[in-house]
Structure 1
Amino acid sequence: MTDSTHTAAPVTPAVTSFGKTTDGTEVQLYTLTNAHGLQVSITNYGGTITSLLVPDKAGKPGEVVLGFNSVSGYQSPEFLKAGPYFGALIGRYGNRIAEGRFTLDGKEYTLAKNNGENTLHGGKKGFDKVLWQAEPGTSAEGPTLKLTYLSKDGEEGYPGNLTVTVVYTLTADDALEIDYSATTDKATPVNLTNHAYFNLSGSKDVLGHEVTIAADRYTVVDAGLIPTGELRPVKGTPFDFTTPHAIGERIAQVPGGYDHNWVLNQTTGLHAAATVYEPTTGRTMEVTTTEPGLQFYTGNFLDGTLKGANGQTYGKHAGFCLETQHFPDSPNQPKFPSTILQPGQSLHSTTIYKFGVRQ
């Protein structure tokens, strides 16, 4: 007779084909499942989360991220033109660097300008568009997928050979944990994140989701979304999510919608970043991180040209992002927490998205 308290050992992720890239390379999809019906699928193309099934308050699993069912969706002309970065790993530098340049140790480095006058999410071919070495496995916490990539010295204009390892773990307690680590042989800025778009309802927009962000300040930005350097209190503004507010409640007061970095109150260890509650399905999501910032983005640029894995149209506000990160443009902002990784140092960063239901 088996002991009812014994937890089943994690099952190694299943591997299937995810199609071929435009240059004919075969791409894989790795599916991690836990005992409660949570299932996440991740491809080695861009380290991208393509699907995440989470039960609602009735116990019925449903899709909670935006994505496509083959690699062709992530390489289509429409997707590349829109550049929403659905579910991808972002690097070498997540978010924006002003005017596509920074100075480090007295030398100026020039990057590709792929967002107006600025560099966004690593440049023209960031970590979202490369093939990662994938190693499926298991841990005490649950099934894992370890992804490794060597970003060579000079790639996209950045200095140093940067070795990056990202481990996704789907835990027995219904969390998707992402652990980032990196080493370099030359000083270089590094800001790693994941660009998943969440929609906990499965409906056409996320405006009814209730969000709380553990931040009393945010980084004020100019018209190009580059920080001015001011860390402004959220109190009395539509940026105040210190108590729960529906995304749609005050979004009209923010020109263009939310696409800003919040300065998290806690900065040491694993700390609270945000919680989300979706009233119709009862789904909840808690975000904890070791990072100092959180980019909250409300899918303002989605315009209905992209169709998802289940044929749904991704219109404006079809998903929201909670990208844990260091602040935008930190290499040019000496007062912000440093993003410079030195030789001999190791970068370690963890972010956890934990799912549940409220009846």
Structure 2
Amino acid sequence: MISRHQSTWRSTITTRWVPRVTLGAPFAVSGINLSAAAPDGVPTGAIVPVAGTPFDFTDGQPFATLDPQRRGTDNHVIFAKGAEGHMPEIAKLTSPNGVSMRVCSDQPGAQIYTATHLSSGAAAQEGQQLAPFAAVCIEPQGFPDAVNQPDFPSVIVHPGRPYHQRLSLDFSTNGADRDD
């Protein structure tokens, strides 16, 4: 066997709901730095602070406040280094109807994409309209271009070092505390 991927998902819900992401939704990400990229999107290897930029999601501001020109984001944020084996909260998104998603991960960063280029003609579930900024992707991962950047944590997998990632998605309503 060359590789194996296993995922276990369990979800319980007591009522039907459709999550809706809007530009006005508060969004918090614990990323304190950004992996810089050239204008063509290729990572440069530089790490820059997010403070004071449109990519500073640390205070839970709505997307519309951080990005009034609606340029969108498709960037890799870097988290403060946590304790070994710890799975800190890396992001929290709250929809206008009070449904919140809390994301925890053991990865050093995450790609954040605000669906800037999502086509209005894309297929959606019945009753939903897709459009730019109608979704957000939070993708915990290693650093982009880590194989070419000696100062970045390694992402190379080999027989003595298998790939392992932990991810937790917790959903709540009306600001209810998580149950862990």
Q: Which residue matches 2:74?
A: 259
Give TM-score, length-normalised by structure 1.
0.44
Q: Distance in 2 between matches of 1:258 and 1:252?
A: 12
> What residue number does 1:234 align with?
50
* 2:9 paired with 1:169: yes
Give yes or no for contact 1:211–1:241 (8 Å, CA) kept in 2: yes
Which one has a bigger Cα radius of gyration?
Answer: 1
Deviation string, structure 1 residues 145-198 (Cα, Å, up to 9, x no partner): xxxxx6xxxxxxxxxx3x1222122156x7xxxxxxxxxxxxxxxxxxxxxxxx
Partner of 1:276: 93
Counterpart of 1:166, as a letter, is Q
Matching residue within 307, 314, 330 for 2:146: 330
Give 1:258's aligned amino acid. T
Q: Does 1:342 align with 2:158?
A: yes
**Cα offset, 1:253, TM superposition:** 5.3
Bigger relative CO (Cα 8 Å, ≥ 6 apart): 2
4+ long deviations beyond 6 Å? none
| Alignment RMSD (CA, Å) | 2.1
Q: Deviations over 1:108-139 (max 9, x none)?
A: xxxxxxxxxxxxxxxxxxxxxxxxxxxxxxxx
Amino acid at match of 1:274: A
Any idea what SS the aligned residue of 1:249 has?
helix
Q: Specify the code of the residue in structure 2 equivalent to 1:308.
A: A
1:43-62 correspondence runs (5 A): none
Alignment pair present for 1:200 and 2:23:
no
User: Which residue identity is paired with 1:265?
Assistant: A
So what's the TM-score if we normalise by structure 2? 0.84
- Structure 2 CA distance, aligned partners of 1:226 and 1:249? 27
Q: Tell me: CA distance 1:224–1:342, structure 2 relative to 1, closer, same or farther (3 Å).
A: same
Query: Identity of paired residues, percent?
Result: 28
Give the structure with the larger strand fraction.
1
CA contact (8 A) 1:276 1:284 kept: yes
- Aligned-partner SS, 2:4: strand
Is 1:218 the counterpart of 2:58? The answer is no
Q: Which runs of 5+ in 2 are unaligned?
A: 176-180
